């Protein structure tokens, strides 16, 4: 390399790249602003922002999310399950899809979500039947 006078070098560089200083200055300002933002206290996020984006088993994901907001033992377990990366496939892999209408599922989970649907159906049927019995006894 060659030795060149610093003043001459700076003048040549200023002619070659006239906006270099302005770019440098704006970059430094952006960096300082980012540092200030990082030092601020971040607002708490609400539970709705932390929802799982589940392609598979969205009902399960929603139930676990609701349980995770509780402070009970089941809530803590649900929170661990939701946050653990090992169970990520449960909500994204179609091989892990839970069929709540299958006989196997109904036998293993008699008081599950499908049982609530059955109870609602029974309630609707019982209202219709009661109306008919009242007419028979009223005569």
Is the per-residue pLDDT at 77 higher than 70? yes
pTM: 0.42
List C-alpha distances in Å: 11 to 21, 23, 62: 13, 17, 65
pLDDT at 124: 63
pLDDT at 16: 92
d(CA 121, CA 118): 5
For residues 136 and 20, which has the higher predicted lDDT (pLDDT)? 20
Among the ranges given (13-27, 30-44, 47-61, 81-95), the one the predictor scored with the smallest mean pLDDT: 47-61
For residues 101 and 123, which has the higher predicted lDDT (pLDDT)? 101
């Amino acid at each position: 390399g060659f030795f060149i006078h610093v003043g001459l070098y700076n003048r040549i560089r200023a002619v070659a790249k006239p906006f270099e200083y302005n770019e440098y200055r704006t970059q430094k300002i952006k960096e300082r602003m980012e540092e200030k933002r990082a030092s601020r206290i971040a607002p708490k996020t609400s539970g709705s922002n932390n929802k799982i984006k589940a392609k598979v088993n969205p009902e399960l994901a929603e139930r676990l999310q609701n349980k995770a907001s509780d402070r009970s033992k089941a809530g803590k377990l649900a929170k661990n399950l939701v946050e653990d990366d090992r169970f990520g496939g449960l909500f994204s892999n179609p091989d892990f899809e839970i069929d709540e209408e299958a006989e196997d599922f109904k036998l293993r989970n008699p008081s599950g979500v499908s049982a609530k649907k059955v109870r609602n159906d029974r309630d609707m049927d019982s209202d219709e039947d009661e109306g008919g019995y009242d007419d028979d006894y009223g005569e």
